[in-house]
Amino acid sequence: MFTPQPIGFVSSPFKNTKEIPKGLGARHEAEGALNILTAFEPGLTDIEGYSHLIVLWTFDRSDGFDLMATPPSDDHPHGVFTTRSPRRPNPIGLTVVELLGREGGTLHVRGVDMLDGTPILDIKPYLSSIPAEKLRRGWLAEAEARKG
């Protein structure tokens, strides 16, 4: 086991979870910032060369967990590991954001879906060698088809 420590905090327009777009067709276009603590700023060296980043963060305001969840995009329950529910055994979130620019320890990004003040656990460059036509969307594709 390890004890995670935040490397920074999110600045987001979202103050409560009801403001975050959810469900089928939700667009995550909100801009925000990833404010990296001074001690970790050297770890951002050369990050400007990437268009998108993976942000690992914690659902720091979520209590408990459920192994089944009914997401806003479907009226059927699904295993929590097939959803983006915040009520998880380990409350870890993952978001892909577009990097708009950097000012010192602040990364300006588009695509935030986290609450303002959310602790950031890690950042990784987004790299994928999986062609879009090979990706499967599981139950979400079925829910999208039902909703038309």
Instruction: Give residues with Cβ within 8 angstroms of 95, minimum separation 6.
Output: 28, 54, 55, 57, 111, 112, 113, 114
More confident residue, 82 or 137: 82
pLDDT in tens, 20-75: 888 777 788 999 999 999 999 999 999 999 999 999 999 999 999 999 999 888 88
- 140: helix, strand or coil: helix
- In the chain, where the domains are located: 8-147
Domain spanning 8-147: CATH superfamily: YaeB-like (2.40.30.70)
pLDDT in tens, 94-129: 999 999 999 999 999 999 999 999 999 999 999 888
pLDDT at 72: 84
pLDDT at 28: 84
Query: In the predicted model, what is the mean pLDDT of the chain?
Result: 92
